[in-house]
Amino acid sequence: MRQNLLCSFLIFTALMFSLTASCQMTDPYNQPVELGQVSWYRNIEDAQLIAAKENKPILVLFQEVPGCSTCQNYGNNVLSNPIIVDIITHEFVPLAIYNNKGGADADVLKLYGEPSWNNPVLRVIKSDGKNLVTRHAGHYDTASLASYMKLALVAYRGSVPQYVDVLIEELLSDDKNVSEAYYSMYCFWTGEAKLGQVEGVISTSPGFMNGQEVVKVTYDNKQTNSGEISKLVKSDKFTFVTDPSKFRIDRDPQYYLKKSDYKYIALSPSQRTKVNSALAAGGDPDLYLSPTQRQWISKTKAQKDKSKMKPVYEMELQKSWKLCQQHFSML
């Protein structure tokens, strides 16, 4: 009896492995622009198999391919944003359904009542094909997709990984919701590390003003305000500066990060702030890194000779991300 059960289990495992290995995905380096830089499954049964195996929700993109300018812009901008791509790739099973094709694509359109020849629409479904949250349509910007993904992940898991929370909150912070505050202190490196821990703080910059060491704080005013930040740092004797007109930035922003291996990997402004604070406090900086970034830092730490490596953490994210992809793919 036990032998039969073992044999059945081994056959089932081999079958699952075989099915998983046969699942085909698109090539992000050689695919229609409407799909962005995400590697997508193109068969719903494949996506459901992987979703059940990996315990992940399925992010379904209903997209016109080839498509109109809206569809192309969505692929070139939103679906090519490194943060969006990394979250989709690691937290979801990505599935692309063309809304202007027949066959299996048309069958899925009919199943979910989606119109043909339409602008991008997103759904998040479970491995059984049932909707997890309501469909996402009529919004073609990065912040809207970020918000939708967070909603879906909370519905599926009850929470989101810390790196997802930090990155999505950064994407959701637009110019209307971002404010600045300045604080003077005895040491701006210490101040930057302390202020970077405050919830709602997006980024910090150390500098000088009227002979004083000062930290510029950029924060999301939907989550906090200068009054709340001042209360939190009062015990550290940081002083709120009312006239920041003469602020001059220091050459060593994120001091603790700059002295570490993390300077060699692509980071968003929020990640730089949080990683710097974690390093200063003796915490775990990797909590704020995506799976791809964790692979990069692991490879970086393993390299004995870093003399030819160049810091990229201060670069614009899109540029630094590409440089890291090229560098680490050769290791």
Give per-residue pLDDT as tens, 118-161. 999 999 999 999 999 999 999 999 999 999 999 999 999 999 99
Domain containing residue 105: CATH number:
3.40.30.10
Pair (283, 324) in one structural domain = yes
Pair (12, 108) in one structural domain = yes
The mean pLDDT of 77-82, rounded to a whole number, is 95
Structure tokens of 273?
């702030």
| pLDDT recorded at residue 226 | 85
Instruction: Give the strands of the sheet with 136-137, arranged side by side.
Output: 93-98, 58-63, 121-125, 136-137
pTM of the model: 0.85
The mean pLDDT of 17-37, rounded to a whole number, is 82
Pair (19, 124) in one structural domain = yes
Residue 169 domain-assigned?
A: no
Pair (101, 210) in one structural domain = no
Give per-residue pLDDT as tens, 197-251. 888 899 899 999 888 899 999 998 888 888 888 888 888 889 888 877 788 888 8
pLDDT band at 20 (very low <50, low <70, confident <90, very high): very low
Residue 165 domain-assigned?
A: no
Residue 19 in this model has a pLDDT that exceeds 50: no
Phi, psi of 264 (to 5 degrees): -90, 0
β-partners of residue 215 are 183, 206
Pair (130, 187) in one structural domain = no
Give per-residue pLDDT as tens, 272-287. 999 999 999 999 999 9
The mean pLDDT of 82-110, rounded to a whole number, is 96
Mean pLDDT estimate for the chain: 90
Which range marks the domain in which residue 276 is found?
A: 258-329
- Lowest mean pLDDT: which of 30-39, 77-86, 160-169, 274-283? 160-169
Domain containing residue 235: CATH number:
3.30.1060.10
Residue 267 domain-assigned?
A: yes
Taking the C-alpha atoms of residue 85 and residue 76, their distance in angstroms, rounded to an integer, is 12
Long-range contacts of residues 289-295, Cβ cutoff 8 Å, at least 24 apart: 289/163, 289/265, 290/83, 290/86, 290/87, 290/90, 290/163, 290/167, 291/86, 291/90, 292/86, 292/89, 292/90, 293/86, 293/163, 293/265, 293/266, 293/267, 295/328
